[in-house]
Amino acid sequence: GRVPSDATVLFDGSHLGGWQGRDGEAKWKAESYFMEVVPGTGDIQTRRGLGDGQYHLEWRAPHIVKGESQGRGNSGVFLMTLYEIQVLDCRDNPTYADGTTAAIYGQFPPLVNACRKPGEWQSYDILWTGPRFDGERLLTPAFVTVIHNGIAVQHHREIQGPTRHRQATSYQAHAAELPLKLQDHGDLVRYRNIWHRAFGGETP
């Protein structure tokens, strides 16, 4: 569908000018209407900070199935660079529960597996309310709802802190707006149609 009129387009398929990599320029491939991970070049993130709102993106795992568990179509969407919603090909691919597709990584599995077949485009709509701090003190934690291919798989989940693999986590104070980050996990995952709508209808 069309991008909402009050949304900020973060990737329109033409170039990666709004993104940066670990050494400055984003080194992923941008081709016609999508971007694709270039393994080994590192994660990329938006040049601008973003906060509360609706995040929409579409992603595609490779159509040629290789690997298993976490080694198949792995990437991730990091809200505020710290809080990961897992991207993974979990169609007929068992793995640990809090590492499955649309999991809040290391914290909460999705309510259902809504994965499409490898090579088919999938969508995430993520409703995000970031944490609030008073100086270094946490006032309220972050909350997230995730809709995967039109199906609610996380509903107003309270985030425990930055997402980590098999590690306890706790909040550290940070800015109210931070970049959106996409992960290079070594697989040829593609992304397209990425936008953000700030809650409250603010002008982008």
Q: Tens digits of per-residue pLDDT, 113-143?
A: 999 999 999 999 999 999 999 999 999 999 9
Mean pLDDT of 162-190: 95
pLDDT of residue 204: 41
The HSE-up count of residue 71 (CA atoms within 13 Å, CB side) is 3
pLDDT of residue 202: 46
Percent of the chain at pLDDT above 90?
84
pTM: 0.94
pLDDT of residue 167: 87
pLDDT of residue 168: 86
44 Cβ contact partners less than 8 Å away, ≥ 6 residues apart: 16, 19, 20, 21, 26, 27, 28, 181, 182, 184
Q: Which tokens belong to 31?
A: 């081709």
